[in-house]
Structure 1
Amino acid sequence: MDPHVGSGKIITAPIITEDGVPIKDPLVLLEAATPDQQASLISTKNGDEADHRLTDKQTIEWKLTLHQIGLDVLRTDRSMVFYEKKENLSKLWDILAVYAWIDKEVGYCQGMSDLCSPMIVLLNDEADAFWCFERLMRRLRGNFRCTQQSVGVENQLQHLASIIQVLDPKLHDHLETLGGGDYLFAFRMFMVLFRRELSFGDSLYLWEVNTSF
């Protein structure tokens, strides 16, 4: 596990190369390290980096995603006053980073921050928020699984197309005419459960109805 997790900091720049060599970027040092750590890291010579090269592929892949998580966290629900506090942003980053660590098959994908954000807002305890998010992902992680043959959410799009074709064939035919018969316009709706289509409050009402069955 990376020491940045739980430090109250957010990483928005790469901290490691694809070869497993730590990146001593001043931007990373300033935003992700404590003052004491900054002094020691900045004084580290570039020649010492090879001594700290990682060899475990899963660890390297995880560390490569940490800055992407940070960038997505900064874009999540930015209109909310709640996220004006950096400590709340760091909670969101921590949870997503830890989840990516424990679920190595799926890891982190864009859209997860939208799903996790309500947990941070509604629950004061970071651990409680994590386990609620982990429970939600048990139902939704299939949407984020990708293979050479298909994307996880593709099955739901096919089901939607079949349902619309039966319930409203005119609408289905119209979408086919417009070139939308693959229903890709609904991709984001399924991935983040309408978090970006509806307001924060309305999306939670929809979640409550959806999970009550």
Structure 2
Amino acid sequence: MDPHVGSGKIITAPIITEDGVPINDPLVLLEATSSSSSSSSANHRLTDKHTIEWKLTLHQIGLDVLRTDRSMLFYEKKENLSKLWDILAVYAWIDKEVGYCQGMSDLCSPMIVLLNDEADAFWCFERLMRRLRGNFRCTQQSVGVENQLQHLASIIQVLDPKLHDHLERLGGGDYLFAFRMFMVLFRRELSFGDSLYLWEIFSFIFLVTP
């Protein structure tokens, strides 16, 4: 694990190259260096593929954290932003297959807001991702959430064929307009409070379905 995690800092600039060489740009070091242990290994080239891929995502996590729920007073405190960054960074480390993807910060944010303890927030997020990680699993042929879009299309075609035909005529028969809704569970379509009300319904469904 990297010493930046838990340091109270948020990484928003690349700290390593794709070849595993640490970036020694002064501005990057000013932001990223959090301890003597990290500075002492500034010139140490990494060879482990998983570690390199993980470190390459840390600044993207930081950029997404700064954009997440920015209208909330809660995130005016840097310590709350760093909690969100810590949880996403740790999750990206333990989930070697999926890692971190954009949209995860929207799913994790309510855990930070509702739970004071960072460890509790992490495990709630990890539990949620057990259900949703398939949405973020990508291959060269498809994105995980596409299966849900196909199910939605089939349901609408049966329940409201006129609406389905209308969407087909408009070129929306692939239902890509619902992509973000499924990815982040309506976090960006609804207000923070309204999305949590909807999540209560989702949580009940999660409890009664295997």
Please indicate, yes or no, whether the TM-score normalized by the shorter chain is above 0.5.
yes
Structure 1 residue 47: Cα displacement = 14
CA displacement, residues 44-96 of structure 1 (integer Å, 9 cap, x when unaligned)? 99999895000001100000000000000000000000000000000000000
- Asked if structure 1 preserves the Cα contact closer than 8 Å seen for 2:22 and 2:43, the reply is no
- What runs of 5+ residues in structure 1 fail to find an aligned partner? 32-42
Residues 119 and 129, structure 1, Cα contact 8 Å, conserved in 2? yes
Partner of 1:177: 169
Identity value in percent: 94
Cα offsets for 1:134-169 (capped at 9, x unmatched):
000000000000112210000000000000000000
1:196 and 1:16 map into 2 onto residues whose CA distance is 31
Query: 1:102 and 1:44, CA in 2 relative to 1: closer, same or farther beyond 3 A?
Result: closer
Q: Distance in 2 between matches of 1:194 and 1:94?
A: 24
Asked if 2 retains the 8 angstrom alpha-carbon contact of 1:115 and 1:192, the reply is yes
**CA separation of 1:91 and 1:53: change in aligned 2, threshold 3 A:** same
Structure-1 separation of matches of 2:159 and 2:153? 10
Q: Say whether the 8 Å CA contact 2:16–2:52 is kept in structure 1.
A: yes
* CA RMSD in angstroms, aligned pairs only: 2.4
Normalising by structure 1, we get a TM-score of 0.89
The Cα of 1:24 is off from its aligned counterpart by 1.3
Q: Where in structure 1 do 4 or more consecutive aligned residues deviate above 4 Å?
A: 43-51
Task: Calculate the TM-score normalised by the size of structure 2.
Answer: 0.90
Structure 2 unmatched ranges of 5 or more: 202-210
SS class of match (1:68): helix
- Rounded to whole Å, the distance in 2 between the matches of 1:202 and 1:48 is 47
